[in-house]
């Protein structure tokens, strides 16, 4: 043992000396004088302690967000927490540790048997578990993408009820496409086309940066457009939040129906008291419900067929499919060779193997498209049936699925102000 460390140090010195004096195996090409050889960078493996730190901070942030939203009822505390999460999970960790993209990894792992890292599973499950217990506290202050949009929501406008309901079907479609493309190992849709991640990473092309800036500009007048109308993970959070054990309430005591909370919510997530139901015969409501139930299978079958027909177009998101189509054009004399086609010809794969893999991918996307489209049709049918039901409400209440637990409505509630600043006793 005593002589091991000197021998190791001596061996390291010899190895360093040999590498320092080593010559390149192949001579460098004769390039112009202005060319500079880039410096080689060898990234190391991520430290295990850093993964545990990320998971621990996520659990802590979710717990603090739930305490601030449900117990403390502090909007300022949620803002401070969101800034901290934006700084760490957003800018420091470059937005890669966000549960928004985790359904892709889970879908790919379940479909192909690919082993998933523990951190990916934890980041997928923990916010969902928090939503099942306390509502969408992850959206309130932990998600870095939501925090970035929340900073610019200074003059939000209210959308019409019909437009809002129609746009809220977009995240369902994005979720279906995201899972389909990840399960078939075609592409990671959420990571590839997310408009805000390039801003967090401070990298990306000019088009990507301008797209992210345009989304933030839109977020000035339409609060959190990505969260409400594009986020696939929000669909899962919305569904589980409707079953939550505890959730945010506007007033700590009795609602006085002042409507200030509804006017302050930029997400249209607060529903008011229902008027007296009109005198409608029972058979009319039963007939409407029966028609919607008959429409449900048609919606499911229609969307399933539509998504199956999208399979060949979606397959082009994979590089092999585009290359296969390019070779077909080359053989027909309609295209010139490219760098990618020349590099493929110098490899070991044959054109027959490439074309066969392309056909298999298209077939997989057609089969998967049936399930993805059926899911979209089922969600649409359930929402239509749910909208036709009459619910009796006597107070202003946050919608358990759409409410982001941001706490904006707290300070506008007169009952909350009385709780914070009780009147002196006479």
- pLDDT per residue as tens digits for the range 125-152: 999 999 999 999 999 999 999 999 999 9
Structure-block tokens of residue 365: 């996307």
Phi, psi at residue 158, to the nearest 5°?
-90, 130
Residue 68 — very low, low, confident or very high, per pLDDT cuts 50/70/90? very high
DSSP summary character for residue 100 = G
Percent of the chain exceeding pLDDT 70 equals 86
Higher pLDDT, 367 or 34: 367
The pLDDT score that the predictor gives to residue 177 is 97
Contact 404, 227 (CB under 8 A): yes
Q: Which pTM value belongs to this model?
A: 0.85
The whole-angstrom separation of Cα 95 and Cα 129 is: 21
Name the pLDDT band for 69 (thresholds 50, 70, 90): very high
Q: How far apart are the first and last CA of the chain?
A: 83
**Mean pLDDT of the residues in the chain:** 86
Q: Is the pLDDT score of 19 beyond 50? A: no
More reliable by pLDDT, 1 or 328: 328
Structure tokens given for 306: 């539509």
What does the domain layout of the chain look like in residue ranges? 53-251+399-412, 284-388
Question: Rounded to 5 degrees, what are φ and ψ at 35?
Answer: -75, 140
DSSP-derived letter for residue 143 is -
**Chain-centre distance of CA 336, in angstroms?**
39
Burial group, residue 73, by CB count within 10 angstroms (0-12, 13-18, 19+): buried
- Please say if the pLDDT value at position 1 is more than 50: no
Run of H or E including 398: strand 397-398
pLDDT grade, residue 169 (50/70/90)?
very high
Which residue spans within 253-393 are E strands per DSSP? 270-271
CB atoms within 10 A of CB 54: 19
């Amino acid at each position: 043992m005593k002589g091991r460390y000197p021998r190791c140090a001596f061996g390291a010195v010899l190895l360093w000396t040999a590498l320092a004096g080593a010559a390149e195996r192949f001579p460098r090409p004769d390039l112009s004088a202005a060319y500079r050889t880039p410096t080689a960078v060898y990234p190391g493996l991520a430290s295990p302690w850093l993964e545990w730190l990320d998971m621990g901070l996520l659990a802590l942030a979710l717990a603090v967000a739930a305490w601030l939203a449900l117990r403390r009822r502090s909007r300022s505390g949620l803002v401070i927490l969101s800034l901290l999460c934006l700084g760490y999970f957003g800018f420091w960790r470059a937005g890669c540790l966000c549960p928004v993209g985790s359904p892709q990894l889970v879908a790919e792992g379940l479909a192909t048997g690919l082993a998933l890292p523990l951190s990916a599973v934890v980041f997928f499950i923990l916010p969902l578990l928090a939503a099942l217990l306390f509502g969408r506290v992850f959206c309130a202050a932990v998600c870095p993408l939501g925090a970035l949009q929340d900073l610019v929501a200074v003059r939000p406008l209210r959308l019409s009820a019909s437009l809002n309901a129609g746009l809220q079907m977009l995240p369902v479609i994005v979720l279906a496409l995201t899972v389909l493309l990840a399960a078939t190992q075609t592409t990671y849709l959420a990571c590839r086309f997310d408009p805000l991640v390039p801003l967090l990473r401070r990298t990306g092309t000019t088009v990507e940066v301008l797209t992210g800036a345009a989304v933030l500009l839109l977020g000035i007048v339409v609060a959190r457009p990505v969260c409400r109308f594009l986020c696939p993970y929000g669909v899962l959070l919305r569904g589980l939040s409707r079953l939550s054990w505890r959730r945010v309430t506007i007033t700590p005591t009795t609602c006085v129906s002042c409507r200030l909370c509804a006017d302050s919510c930029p997400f249209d997530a607060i529903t008011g008291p229902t008027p007296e139901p009109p005198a409608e015969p029972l058979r009319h409501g039963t007939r409407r419900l029966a028609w919607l139930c008959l429409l449900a299978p048609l919606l499911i079958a229609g969307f399933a067929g539509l998504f199956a027909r999208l399979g060949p177009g979606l397959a082009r998101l994979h590089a092999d499919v585009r290359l296969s189509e390019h070779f077909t054009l080359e053989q027909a004399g309609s295209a010139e060779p490219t760098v990618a086609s020349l590099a493929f010809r110098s490899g070991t794969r044959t054109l027959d193997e490439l074309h066969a893999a392309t056909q298999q991918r298209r077939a997989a996307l057609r089969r998967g498209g049936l399930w993805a489209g059926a899911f979209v049709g089922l969600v649409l049918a359930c929402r239509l049936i749910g909208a036709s039901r009459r619910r009796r409400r006597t107070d202003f209440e946050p919608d358990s699925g759409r409410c982001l637990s941001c706490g904006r409505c707290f300070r506008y509630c007169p009952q909350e102000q009385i709780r914070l600043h009780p009147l002196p006793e006479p």
